Homo-oligomer: A and B are copies of this chain.
Amino acid sequence: MSRTTALRVTVWNENRHERQNPRVREIYPEGIHSAIAGFLTEAGMAARTATLDEPEHGLTDDVLNGTDVLIWWGHLAHGEVRDDIVAKVQRRVLDGMGLIVLHSGHDSKIFRALMGTSCALKWREANEKERLWVVAPGHPIAAGIGESIELEREEMYGEHFDIPAPDELVFASWFEGGEVFRSGCAYERGSGKVFYFRPGHETYPTYWHPDVQRVIANAANWARPVDRERPVYGNARPLEAIGAKTGKGGEAE
B-binding residues in A (CB < 8 A): 1, 3, 23, 43, 90, 94, 96, 113-118, 120-129, 131, 133-140, 142-147, 153, 155-156, 158-162, 164-165, 167-169, 172-180, 182, 187-193, 203, 221, 225-239, 242-253
Bound-state CA distance A160–B171 (Å) is: 10
Return the contact of A156 from the options B118, B236, B251 (Cβ within 8 A): B236
What is the minimal beta-carbon distance from A158 to any residue of chain B, in angstroms? 6
Q: Are A252 and B193 in contact (CB under 8 A)?
A: no
Q: List 21 A-B contacts (CB under 8 A).
A: A1-B143, A114-B116, A122-B235, A124-B235, A126-B238, A126-B248, A127-B253, A128-B246, A133-B159, A137-B226, A137-B231, A143-B228, A153-B248, A158-B236, A164-B189, A165-B188, A168-B188, A174-B179, A176-B246, A177-B236, A203-B253
Q: List chain B residues, Cβ under 8 A from A135.
A: 159-161, 182
Given the known A-B contacts A138-B96, A248-B126, are A226 and B143 also in contact in the complex, defined by CB atoms under 8 Å? yes
Q: Is the Cβ of B156 less than 8 Å from the Cβ of A136?
A: no
Copies of this protein, total: 4
- Give complex CA distance A174, B231 in Å: 17
Known A-B contacts A118-B190, A124-B239, A127-B250; the reply to A177 vs B244 at CB < 8 A is: yes
**A252 surroundings in chain B (CB, below 8 A):** 125-127, 155, 203
Q: Please indicate which of the listed interface residues A142, A158, A234, A243 has the most CB atoms of chain B within 10 Å of its own CB.
A: A158
Q: Is the interface of A mostly helix, strand, loop or mixed?
A: loop
B137 x A190 contact (CB < 8 A)? yes
CA distance A120 to B135 in the complex (A): 13
Report the minimum CB–CB distance from A244 to chain B (whole Å). 5
**CB–CB B245/A247 < 8 A:** yes
Give every chain B residue within 8 A of A180 (Cβ-Cβ). Answer: 131, 133, 172-174, 180
Minimum CB–CB distance from A178 to chain B (whole Å) comes to: 5
Minimal beta-carbon separation of A88 from chain B (angstroms): 13
A129 contact set on B, CB distance < 8 A: 246
What are the nearest 4 A-B pairs in CB distance? A125-B252, A120-B233, A160-B231, A116-B116
A138 touches B188 (CB 8 A): yes
